[in-house]
């Protein structure tokens, strides 16, 4: 099984995804770790990525998902996956993949991004991410604005029936 935790930067994908993986005893992967150097450089400079920039990254992630499923490995992947076509690209076997969409009000996300340190993603890219976001259909949608990460994880475990 592969659970993909998606949403814009600053919504808590890594925090929630890593805690979900730990609760399940699964491997956690962060899609940010798979970006080519050129993509990281652009994002750090506040330059939005294009679909062309994302294509090799998405291909690498698709291969990661495919390999995990072929090996029978359970994985939680944190990935923005903002557009429907990106999610289609990452869907290798819909029967063994689940999508979780984390969301919160723009103001809260912006505040989180301002406080975040040690991440290359420029807070100025929030607007471009929100503009690119196509709210997923069929994903488990969770508003993270009022719940602590562990409460979100408990909700995911219950709603996804993973425990």
pLDDT tens digits, residue range 16-53?
A: 999 999 999 999 999 999 999 998 888 788 788 889 99
Give the pLDDT score at 13.
95
The larger pLDDT score, comparing residue 4 to residue 131, is at 4
Other CB atoms within 10 A of residue 52 CB: 7
Q: In the predicted model, is pLDDT for residue 149 greater than 70?
A: yes
Domains of the chain: 2-159 (3.40.50.300)
pTM above 0.75, yes or no: yes
Question: What gap in Å lies between CA 117 and CA 100, rounded to an integer?
Answer: 25
Q: In the predicted model, is pLDDT for residue 122 greater than 80?
A: no
Cβ–Cβ under 8 Å, residues 16 and 7? no
Q: Residue 71, class by beta-carbon neighbours within 10 Å (0-12 exposed, 13-18 middle, 19+ buried)?
A: exposed
Cβ–Cβ under 8 Å, residues 21 and 73? no
Average pLDDT in the 66-74 region?
98
The CA R_g of the chain, rounded to the nearest whole Å, is 15
Q: Check residue 30 and report its DSSP letter.
A: E
Structure tokens at 33: 């770790």
Question: What gap in Å lies between CA 110 and CA 123, rounded to an integer?
Answer: 7
């Amino acid at each position: 099984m592969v659970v993909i935790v998606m949403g814009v930067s600053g919504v808590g994908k890594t925090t929630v995804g890593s805690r979900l993986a730990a609760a399940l005893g699964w491997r956690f992967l962060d899609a940010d770790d798979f970006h080519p150097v050129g993509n990281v450089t652009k994002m750090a400079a506040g330059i939005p990525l294009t679909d062309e920039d994302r294509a090799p990254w998405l291909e690498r992630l698709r291969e990661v998902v495919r390999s995990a499923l072929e090996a029978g490995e359970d994985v939680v992947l944190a990935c923005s996956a903002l557009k429907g076509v990106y999610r289609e690209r990452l869907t290798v076997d819909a029967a063994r993949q689940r999508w979780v969409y984390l969301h919160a009000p723009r103001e809260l996300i912006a505040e989180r991004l301002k406080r975040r340190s040690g991440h290359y993603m420029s807070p100025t890219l929030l607007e471009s991410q929100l503009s690119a976001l196509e709210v997923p259909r069929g994903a488990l949608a969770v508003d993270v604005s009022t719940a602590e990460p562990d409460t979100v994880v408990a909700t995911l475990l219950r709603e996804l029936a993973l425990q």
